[in-house]
Structure 1
């Protein structure tokens, strides 16, 4: 499970010092951008009261921040730039994200962009119609239950931002990963799976714009590599994690 932490630093900076403050953080940001412990960062200014600023930094973990970045040479350079403003800090704390999160309606989910439940049902129906007769993949799908394609459609729909039906009715991430146990999937089979899934996306009429297809391809690569790992006879038991939620140009932070 992810150990990422979000640090918030709240400043009160007088109007006459704001330009030099922003210039100092522009220099300090070079150290954040180059730090392996830093996931991303953003300095925001309050619209209602220009004296208030919030710096948000996502760290790989609290320990990585305190015992990694803060003990590095980069921190000394960071501190040299923003040191004059330490007395203007009103809050400096680490926060853990909660499960209360999700996209807003301003940007459509990949699920909605693809066409919703009907699109993913067409995708999996098309894919399995090809896969069961494929020389390389056929053995993996011997005795495939008729409801399997529908279950995978629910899984993919949830992954790409649709309703959490798979989690509610079919066991979520742990169940899906466990379904691959003992199959000993080869790299050739994984690559064939990816190829047929892309062919099925074309045949099922999923969107062909580069933004959608790049996100779709990224999940297919990530998911199939996870399946290969957990199909190995000596694979460790999968961790308890939520279904990964794939978005435009982003991937979930955990690995298995």
Structure 2
């Protein structure tokens, strides 16, 4: 007998240890990052952010970043960099509210694409991405050199931003 597990078969509520686990762990976030990246590259406005190119392992790195932010392993910080390095990549481009709104829409669509639609998980992931896009990544719209050293990746839980 072959059995399969669907996202809809789980109780995605706050009883789970972390948002990371509820989202399917590393594999779930890699699927989400790939779906988001695909949607972004198809968007005429958001794809502009990638017009200079991107790292060949962008999807894996993005998934590792999200994993750490959502209560998973610290692979991103241990391997790729800290929050300062991530914020620098997103800094020095001036305000871009329309691009941010469209990136958030792409994320919401990507959640649907990979089946992460059960509440409250979908809302928690959406809220995290919207906050990261419009607050965390837009703190330094001037020069990337304005970003302070040593920032740590913010942690997000079922209750939102953790202090």
Q: Name the TM-score, length of structure 1 as normaliser.
A: 0.53
Residues 109, 161 of structure 1: 8 Å contact kept: yes
Change (3 A) 1:219 1:175: same
Distance 1:132 1:185, change over 3 A: farther
Divergent runs of 4+, >3 A: 231-236
1:130 matched residue in structure 2: 39
Decide whether aligned partners of structure 1 residues 107 and 204 sit closer, same or farther in structure 2, where only a CA change above 3 A counts.
Answer: closer
Per chain length, whose mean CA-contact separation is higher, i.e. which structure has more relative contact order (CA < 8 Å, sep 6+)? 2
Instruction: Give 1:113's aligned residue.
Output: 22
1:21-170 → structure 2 map (5 Å cutoff): 107-142=16-51, 143-170=53-80
Aligned to 1:232: 142
Higher share of residues assigned strand: 1
| Alpha-carbon separation, structure 2, partners of 1:163 and 1:234 | 27
The TM-score normalised by the length of structure 2 is: 0.81
Q: By how many angstroms is 1:185 displaced?
A: 4.6
Of structures 1 and 2, the larger Rg is shown by 1
C-alpha distance in 1 between matches for 2:143 and 2:152: 24
- Cα distance, 1:108–1:203 mapped onto 2, change above 3 Å: same
The answer to whether the 8 A contact 2:111-2:122 is kept is no
Give the gaps of 5 or more residues in structure 2.
1-14
Q: Over the residues paired in the alignment, what is the CA RMSD in angstroms?
A: 1.9
5+ residue gaps, structure 1: 1-105
